[in-house]
Structure 1
Amino acid sequence: MSKLNVDQKTVKDLFQDKRADFLIPDYQRPYAWGETECQTLWDDIFNFAIPDDGRTEFDSNSEYFLGPIVTFKNKEKMEVIDGQQRLTTFMLLLRAFYAKFGHMQDKASISTRHNIEKCLWKTDEFGEPDMTELKIDSEVATDNDKEEFLDILRTGIVKKDQKSRYAQNYLFFQKCIDSFLGNFPTYFAYLPTRIMNNCILLPIEAESQDTALRIFSTLNDRGKPLSDADIFKAQFYKFYSNKGEKDTFIKKWKSLEELCEKIFHPVTGTPMDELFTRYMYYVRAKMGIKSSTTEALRKFYEKNDYALLKKSDTFTDLIMLADFWEDVSNQDADHFSSRVLRRLFVLNYAPNGMWTYFVSVYFMHNKDENGLLEDDAFYEFLNKITGFIWTYAVIHPGVNALRTPVYAEMVNIVNDLPVTFADFKFELSDIKNIFSTFGFNNSRPITKSMLAWWTFENEKQELLSLETVFEIEHIYARNRQDKEKSLKNIRNIEALGNKVLLEKRINIRAADYRFIDKIKYYQGFTNSRKQQKEGTKNLELLNFAATETDFTETDIENRTTRILSAYLAYLKKYTLIKS
């Protein structure tokens, strides 16, 4: 069991401790506090230290809790995992007070100034501050302003060209202190003294970075916890710094981070974590790993002292992979044929996210020097994995079951073997039985998956935008059945043959109408205010609207049969059914 050193301390006790040598590590995010947070901090500590504007006597035994500071001992440094923002801000606040006390010679001011000195600077064996050695340092890889922070602490001066958050917050505190001195001159020495003596921090010192990060994740329910990608960034930063390419790396990392935030929207983790996850499956495949047990992301990358992140090819690969997924997200017709873009649209409605890992492995292994894929082979691959994933989701619900066949095929890909799912092909009779009785309810992701697939079985269907939100439309409305009760088999309401993808903006308006009333919404119309309401892009619905006046139970049953028959033919075409 990991040992923890937890001991409640005043600001003075913590900052003046001989061991106090704080390091904001390279994987931390840049300093983010602005004037709002600083104003809140100032108001809180002022109201605590000078109660009722000085009209109420201060209780010297009272305490104001500021929160935890989570660190771990990294050589001689106290590497800060949690508390970076408040620790940095308090250093700026104390430095602003120190600058104001510089020319005051009364006993209280001299004593307060000496106490602040010992909080900001390291001391020699006689307890005298060494003004060249600050008690805090910052190595944040993507913070271009960190030198301003350290310069302000050393000099107490903000230069005209310094516009960072550090500079702005320091100037803010100077204004607060000036105002305080003007309004409460007799209390001036009391405020910083009470901050140092009565404001409490909870330093938690862990034995290792891993333990400190776990503690941080448990404690922190407000700010963003450090992501796995933040840890990986630090390793890259060290690697490229040693190569003399630090600035180039920082610029590329920022661009990559911005790109990932635009194209990835994971349910858990950060967008950058998602990129590292997709790349992990490629590396796993190259290592020949078929096991259905997947390691946590950081556990995978930290092997052999983060050896994978100390290779030049890794960062280059990540950028190429992100660029590929940007092309997918943008439906880039310069990089993909129309038929491939249509398959990718369908896959975006997959019942789970496994396809993204599968396609990432395929891309990384088969891309040419320009990051492009051979169209015929990629089209074949996309069709095959669509049929397999869709069918597996019905027969074996849950993404975990899909790991075994997919991981094996990932390994085949990197070994230049065709994707066949040879050991997992489906029995035709099983598919017929299961699909004929399966409840394609709207709550099941596979329902929208099947409808997306069916939409593009019509070769004339134009490519639909990934940005458009599609809902499941009941062609024969549920509300109609409630009123007319004309369906003999109530299950037909939820049959695939009664469902279709429809733009959400239209689905809302067309929800409770008879088919004859829905037609104008499908086709588009001009309202009473002469506003044009655009119709659907779904060609099947447009064809229905142009040729039919009603949609009956017989139509539902016939359409269900057509969909399932076409789907079985699709599985046969891509050799996913046992012969």
Structure 2
Amino acid sequence: MKATEAKLLDFLKRSPQFVIPIYQRTYSWTEQECRQLWDDILRTGINSEVSAHFVGSIVYIEKGLYQVMAQPPLLVIDGQQRLTSVMLILESLARHLGDTEPVDGFSAKKLRSYYLLNTLEEGERGFKLILTQTDKASLLALMQQKPLPAPESQRIAENFTFFEDRVKSLGGDLTALCNGLAKLVIVDIALNRDQDNPQLIFESMNSTGRELSQADLIRNYVLMGLEPAHQTRIYEDHWHP
């Protein structure tokens, strides 16, 4: 296991792609949690004496996926909610910026090419974050500025609308938002499948969060050790409603 402190945007920029495993719960943040994140970002951005705001950890398995890419995607086992919510804020901001760049590095083009898309890749590899189930199709549609497909992910749709409304409420003064996003800090925790026990770490990190049922634990134990394509087949055959 390797754990290091990192600025969230730097972490997003240098990472090729994040993939949420099929066995993980879908995106579930409520408006209350999104509002708290938004308020924290603005408060941090406004205060010049605050240099950083910690938003939690991102835990992922290195070499967890095997694809023909210069850098393989990272298999995220904790941090989906934070990653997805920040992506929704960045997409909302990119749409509102137009041709402006209120803070260096914060133009629509740079936000998309650094944090939202892999512009030199095709298909799903062209996106920084791949979610599961209906969340996946909804997020990819947003990243392409397309209508959400039916059935849409309710949480993705509602929270994107929430963040979009908040960005619009700022009018043309986006400096605090940009500064706040630039100050977000995470703990970057990289696991090695051959040396660490991702299942044990996953259970431990969730012990203080939303309770996992026995079915959740059994499902995760069975699926976590399999390759992604096999995970999907087993999940759809035995667990998908």
TM-score range, shorter chain: 0.7 to 0.9
Q: Which residue of 2 aligns with 1:147?
A: 137
Question: So what's the TM-score if we normalise by structure 1?
Answer: 0.35
* Structure 1 runs, 4 residues or longer, greater than 4 Å off: 129-132, 156-161, 237-243
Alpha-carbon contact 2:42-2:176 (below 8 Å) kept: no
Q: Is the 8 A contact 1:112 1:193 kept in 2?
A: no
2:46 alignment counterpart: 50
CA shift, 1:238, in A, is: 4.8
Please state whether the residue corresponding to 1:32 is helix, strand or coil: coil
Rate the CA distance shift 1:146–1:38 in 2: closer, same or farther, 3 A.
Answer: same
Q: Distance in 1 between matches of 2:127 and 2:52?
A: 27
Aligned to 1:9: 6
Greater shift in the superposed pair: 204-213 or 85-94: 204-213
Q: Distance in 2 between matches of 1:66 and 1:20?
A: 21
Match of 2:99 in 1: 104
Instruction: After TM superposition, give the deviation of residue 45 of structure 1 in Å.
Output: 1.6
Question: Compared with structure 1, are the counterparts of its residues 79 and 224 closer, same or farther at alpha carbon in structure 2 (3 Å cutoff)?
Answer: farther
1:144 partner SS: helix
Partner of 1:223: 210
Q: Which amino acid aligns with 2:74?
A: M
- Larger relative CO (CA 8 A, sep 6+): 1 or 2? 2
User: Secondary structure in 2 aligned to 1:26?
Assistant: coil
Secondary structure (helix, strand or coil) at the match of 2:106 reads helix
TM-aligned CA deviation for residue 192 of structure 1: 2.3
Which of 125, 131, 134 lines up with 2:127 in the alignment? Answer: 134
| SS of residue in 1 equivalent to 2:186 | strand
Report what 1:524 is aligned to. Answer: none
Aligned-residue CA RMSD (Å)? 3.3
More helix by share: 1
- Using the size of structure 2 for normalisation, the TM-score is 0.78
Question: Given residue 90 of structure 1, which amino acid in structure 2 is its aligned partner?
Answer: V
Q: Which amino acid aligns with 2:178?
A: P
Aligned residues: 225
* Paired position in structure 1 for 2:180: 194
Alpha carbons of 1:201 and 1:20: their partners in 2 closer, same or farther (altered >3 Å)? farther
- The verdict on how the C-alpha distance between 1:242 and 1:216 changes in structure 2, with shifts beyond 3 A counting, is closer
SS of equivalent to 2:43: helix
2: distance between equivalents of 1:198 and 1:211? Answer: 31
The 5-angstrom pairing of residues 513-532 of structure 1 reads none
The alignment status of 1:71 with 2:60, answered yes or no, reads: yes
**Aligned match of 1:213:** 199
What is the CA deviation profile of residues 130-183 of structure 1, one whole-angstrom value per residue up to 9, with x for unaligned ones?
898111112x3xx334211221122265579745211111011001111122xx
Opposite residue 200 of structure 1, the aligned amino acid is V
Distance 2:27 2:38 in 1: 18
- 2:99 is paired with a residue whose SS is coil
> Is the contact made by 1:6 and 1:205 (CA closer than 8 Å) also made in structure 2?
yes
Give the 3-state SS of the residue equivalent to 1:227 in structure 2: helix
Read off the aligned partner of 1:36 and give its amino acid letter: Q
Matches within 5 A, 1:126-525: 133-138=126-131, 140=132, 143-155=133-145, 158=148, 162=152, 164-181=154-171, 185-186=172-173, 188-195=174-181, 197-208=182-193, 211-220=197-206, 221-224=208-211, 227-232=217-222, 238=229, 246=236, 249=237, 253-254=240-241
Contact (CA 8 Å) 2:90, 2:111: kept in 1 or not? yes
Query: Where do 5+ consecutive residues of structure 2 fail to align?
Result: 67-71
- Superposed CA deviations along residues 362-390 of structure 1, whole A, max 9, x for unmatched, are xxxxxxxxxxxxxxxxxxxxxxxxxxxxx
- Structure 1 or 2, whichever has the larger Rg, is 1
Summarize the Cα distance change of 1:157–1:41 in structure 2 as closer, same or farther, 3 Å threshold. Answer: farther
1:426-459 C-alpha deviation (Å, 9 max, x unpaired) = xxxxxxxxxxxxxxxxxxxxxxxxxxxxxxxxxx
> What are the Cα deviations for residues 366-424 of structure 1, in whole angstroms up to 9, with x where unaligned?
xxxxxxxxxxxxxxxxxxxxxxxxxxxxxxxxxxxxxxxxxxxxxxxxxxxxxxxxxxx
After superposition, the Cα gap between the structure-2 partners of 1:13 and 1:109, relative to the gap in structure 1 and judged at 3 Å, is: closer
CA contact (8 A) 1:92 1:169 kept: yes
AA aligned opposite 2:175: A
Contact 2:18 2:128 in 1 (8 A): yes
Does the 8 Å contact 2:223/2:231 carry over to 1? no
